[in-house]
């Protein structure tokens, strides 16, 4: 039962890889710029609104939604249109920016059987853990589900129950300043981590004269879920495995130690000392403010940099992440789903909001205004979507995707990830990998036995 559920989670890799091969990238910059970008296109009308209004008019629901980039602006605009068309009042509450904190928030609400949340945005690795607390959407949304990538729907189906609907996809990529590469004599972005460190140092040294705040490379180094994603990319790209391989903890190996120590030695050299506190928004701000040569982030950042208020508009591009001496370039699979709480007092109205938010019209709106990766293939192929997001290259689309080891830990994944990101953060802040990885390995082995 648990094994089946977790194997399904792993199947999302192929799905998101396919979606990515067909689609996209990103969102807005400073708050005013983000708002302008989001309002450039009208939120789509709600299909069958008259019938929905007749049945649920006046009901009030709470949607715990996005908080990263332009996500909250998008959510409030869509909620406003939904309320206008249906008469269902939607209160949008942004979840904590750190994924693990968002998980804890929902876990507390579900454990207490609270009706304070009706619709929630959940990470791609959470359906198995939260399934007992979520409404089966299959009876009402089965037809819509068929439009989405099949393996993502499989990921969201637990014991035959469709407990969530795909909202958008995600994957790690490298952002780089095209103007600065040219200025310092580089014809192409870095292929390896060693290349990145070398290029970042040269560009940083040259730019510091006019910009004391300039740095070579930024990423999500804070002790939270985002660092687990980064660490997985580093280790896998160095040939050090995927934290857990074939059911066994593999994180403590020579290749993993080498790449993690390499990252540690760059802290304060080509990365700012404070990168160990960075999450997504701090990374995006550093790059789009013109203070970094390279950045690892999710696709949403692309559109922020491409807006009128960005200091790097027309001066950057994206590519696959670098790799180590004996591994391939990879990108960690991300993505978010929408689910309805079993404890909601207005489940019918909540399901209608999910139907609207995961519809083709809204996925197109999201791709164009917020540049998130569509999970509906027809939307990913849409000419307007492709035109708005021309940066996606075949090399990025075909790069191997790696998944966090949720399938091995089930409901204990959040604990496992915490052990990983706290340990990796300890390495980044100065402790050699050889002293930390054995501790992480021991903790993960204990969790595997639960």
Q: What are the start-end ranges of the H helices in 87-192?
A: 99-111, 127-130, 138-145, 150-155, 178-183
The reported pTM is: 0.84
CA atoms of 386 and 381, how far apart (whole Å)? 7
- Tokens 């490379």 sit on residue: 217
Domains and CATH numbers, the chain: 49-170+333-399 (3.40.190.10)
Q: At what angle do helices 433-448 and 413-428 cross, to 10 degrees?
A: 180
Q: Are strands 119-123 and 331-340 parallel, antiparallel or unpaired?
A: antiparallel
CA atoms of 302 and 401, how far apart (whole Å)? 19
CA atoms of 190 and 199, how far apart (whole Å)? 8
- Amino acid 39: pLDDT: 53
CB 69 within 8 A of CB 354: no
- Tokens 């009402």 sit on residue: 140
Distance, CA of 341 to chain centre: 22
- Tokens 């075949």 sit on residue: 394
Best CA proximity match to 264, nearest among 276, 255, 252: 276
115 burial class (0-12, 13-18, 19+ CB within 10 angstroms)?
Answer: middle
pLDDT tens, position by position, for the chain (450 residues)?
A: 333 333 334 344 444 444 443 333 333 333 444 445 445 689 999 999 999 999 999 999 999 999 988 899 999 999 999 999 999 999 999 999 878 889 999 999 999 999 999 999 999 999 999 999 999 999 999 999 999 988 789 889 999 999 999 999 888 999 999 999 999 999 999 999 999 999 999 999 999 999 999 999 999 999 999 999 999 999 999 999 999 999 999 999 999 999 999 999 999 999 999 999 999 999 999 999 999 999 999 988 988 998 888 999 999 999 999 999 889 999 998 899 999 999 999 999 999 999 999 999 999 999 888 888 888 888 878 888 877 775 556 567 668 889 899 889 988 999 999 999 999 999 999 999 999 999 999 999 999 998
- Amino acid 98: pLDDT: 79
- Amino acid 387: pLDDT: 75
DSSP per-residue letters across 369-394: HT-PBPSBHHHHT-HHHHHH-TT--H
List the Cα angle 197/200/206 in 5-degree steps: 140
**Three-state secondary structure call for residue 269:** coil
């Amino acid at each position: 039962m648990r094994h089946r559920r977790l194997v399904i989670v792993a199947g999302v890799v192929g799905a998101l890889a396919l979606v990515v091969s067909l689609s996209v990238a990103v969102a807005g910059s400073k708050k005013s710029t983000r708002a302008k970008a989001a309002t450039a296109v009208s939120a789509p009308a709600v299909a069958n609104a008259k019938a929905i209004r007749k049945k649920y008019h006046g009901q009030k629901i709470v949607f715990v939604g996005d908080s990263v980039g332009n996500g909250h602006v998008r959510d409030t605009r869509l909620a406003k249109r939904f309320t206008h068309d249906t008469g269902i009042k939607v209160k949008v509450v942004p979840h904590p920016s750190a994924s693990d904190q968002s998980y804890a928030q929902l876990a507390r609400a579900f454990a207490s059987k609270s009706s304070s949340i009706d619709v929630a945005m959940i990470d791609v690795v959470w359906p198995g853990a939260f399934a007992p607390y979520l409404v089966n959407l299959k009876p009402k949304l089965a037809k819509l589900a068929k439009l989405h990538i099949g393996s993502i729907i499989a990921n969201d189906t637990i014991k035959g129950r469709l407990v969530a609907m795909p909202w958008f996809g995600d994957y790690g990529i490298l952002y780089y300043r095209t103007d600065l590469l040219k200025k310092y004599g580089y014809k192409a972005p870095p292929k390896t981590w060693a290349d990145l460190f070398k290029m970042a140092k040269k560009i940083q040294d040259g730019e510091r004269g006019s910009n004391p705040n300039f740095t070579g490379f930024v990423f999500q180094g804070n002790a939270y879920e985002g660092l687990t994603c980064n660490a997985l990319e580093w280790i896998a790209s160095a040939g050090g495995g995927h934290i857990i391989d074939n059911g066994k903890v593999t994180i403590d190996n020579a290749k993993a130690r080498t790449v993690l120590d390499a990252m540690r030695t760059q802290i304060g050299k080509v990365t700012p000392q404070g990168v160990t506190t960075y999450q997504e928004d701090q990374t995006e701000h550093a790059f789009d403010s013109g203070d970094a040569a390279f950045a690892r982030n999710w696709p949403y950042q692309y559109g922020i940099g491409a807006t009128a208020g960005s200091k790097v508009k027309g001066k950057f591009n994206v590519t696959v992440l670098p790799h180590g001496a004996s591994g391939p370039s990879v990108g960690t699979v991300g993505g978010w789903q929408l689910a309805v709480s079993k404890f909601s007092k207005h489940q019918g109205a909540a399901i209608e909001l999910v139907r609207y938010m995961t519809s083709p019209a809204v996925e197109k709106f999201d791709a164009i205004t917020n540049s998130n990766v569509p999970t509906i293939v027809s939307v990913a192929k849409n000419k307007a979507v492709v035109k708005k997001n021309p940066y996606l290259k075949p090399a990025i689309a075909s790069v191997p995707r790696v998944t966090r080891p949720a399938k091995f830990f089930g409901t204990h994944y959040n604990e496992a990830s915490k052990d990983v990101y706290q340990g990796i953060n300890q390495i980044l802040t100065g402790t050699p990998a050889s002293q930390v990885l054995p501790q992480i390995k021991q903790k993960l082995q204990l969790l595997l036995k639960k």
